[in-house]
């Protein structure tokens, strides 16, 4: 292909090509946002990065939404698109559930793409390490949005578990043992149930669970200890896929 076959600038592109480049801009912004978070975490630590992201993220969202409102002709009301403030609780919950499913799909395609190119071991390493960052970040955000205290104890953890992304797409339950312990069970897991319907064995997720749950719990309250009672490839009853005991250690 000769140089003359390439467009010289954006104005040379067709309408469908411009649509592609518009979406590309959103995609690069998302990746650049993640690059900033990762580097601040590397340089200054995860908890500091989460704090910085809380401030920078609020400001970035405000700037982005204001500019998009002007471009696409929607109104901003109290910092969010006005149409969202007019939505019913039922529609908002439906939208939140859809967001959670998209989040899980995003996680799945990353895993499968790495697995396809580099094998299961590489995918699991990337997955486990990724959860060592996402799980505490999710805990920090839940604490901030709900206004939980620095050390909310087991009651705070119970509340926080209900506001994870997974809580909108999986079925989970809590059994109190005593004042210092409770058991959390994942009774239905969207990923594992899908595998079961296809006649596949459980995905062996214990390695990531041993990162995900302890990191989440200690980010809610440093005094909380996490023990795995069972998680694939462990044998488990039909009533749950994984179970975790959380204890408050004074």
CA–CA dist 81, 88 (Å, integer):
14
Residue 6's pLDDT band, with cuts at 50, 70 and 90, is confident
pLDDT at residue 1 is higher than 60: no
CA–CA dist 152, 139 (Å, integer):
12
pTM, entire model: 0.90
pLDDT value at position 206?
96
Peptide bond into 185 cis (omega under 30): no
Nearest alpha carbon to residue 36 among 16, 70, 60: 60
Residue-wise pLDDT for 184-222, tens only, equals 999 999 999 999 999 999 999 999 999 999 999 999 999
Range(s) within the chain of domains with CATH label 3.30.1380:
88-250
Distances in whole angstroms, Cα of residue 130 to Cα of each of 126, 161, 173: 6, 19, 25
pLDDT value at position 4?
66
Mean pLDDT for 118-135 is: 95
Residue 2's pLDDT band, with cuts at 50, 70 and 90, is low
Nearest alpha carbon to residue 235 among 212, 208, 206, 195: 206
Residue-wise pLDDT for 79-103, tens only, equals 999 999 999 999 999 999 999 999 9
Residue-wise pLDDT for 32-72, tens only, equals 999 999 999 999 999 999 999 999 999 999 999 999 999 99
Averaged pLDDT of the chain: 95
The DSSP call for residue 170 is S
Class of domain 88-250: alpha beta
- In a 10 Å sphere around its CB, with 0-12 CB exposed, 13-18 middle and 19+ buried, how is residue 26 labelled? exposed
pLDDT value at position 3?
60
pLDDT value at position 98?
96
Q: Are 18 and 10 in contact (CB under 8 A)?
A: yes
């Amino acid at each position: 292909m000769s140089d003359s076959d390439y467009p010289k600038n954006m104005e040379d592109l067709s309408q469908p090509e411009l649509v592609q480049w518009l979406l590309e801009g959103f995609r690069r912004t998302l990746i650049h946002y993640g690059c900033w978070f990762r580097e601040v975490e590397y340089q200054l630590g995860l908890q500091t990065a989460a704090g910085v992201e809380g401030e920078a993220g609020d400001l970035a969202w405000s700037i982005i939404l204001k500019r998009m409102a002007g471009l696409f002709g929607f109104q901003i009301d109290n910092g969010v698109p006005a149409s969202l403030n007019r939505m019913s609780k039922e529609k908002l919950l439906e939208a939140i559930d859809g967001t959670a499913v998209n989040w899980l799909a995003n996680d799945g395609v990353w895993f499968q793409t790495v697995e396809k190119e580099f094998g299961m071991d590489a995918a699991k390493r990337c997955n486990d390490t990724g959860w060592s960052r996402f799980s505490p970040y999710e805990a920090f955000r839940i604490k901030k949005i709900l206004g939980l205290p620095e050390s909310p104890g087991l009651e705070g953890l119970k509340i926080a578990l209900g506001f994870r992304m997974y809580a909108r797409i999986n079925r989970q339950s809590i059994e109190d043992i005593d004042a210092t312990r409770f058991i959390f069970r994942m009774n239905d897991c969207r990923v594992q149930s899908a595998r079961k319907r296809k006649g596949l064995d459980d995905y062996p997720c214990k390695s990531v669970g041993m990162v995900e749950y302890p990191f989440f719990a200690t980010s809610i309250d440093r005094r909380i200890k996490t023990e795995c009672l069972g998680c694939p490839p462990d044998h488990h009853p039909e009533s749950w896929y994984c179970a975790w005991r959380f204890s408050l250690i004074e």
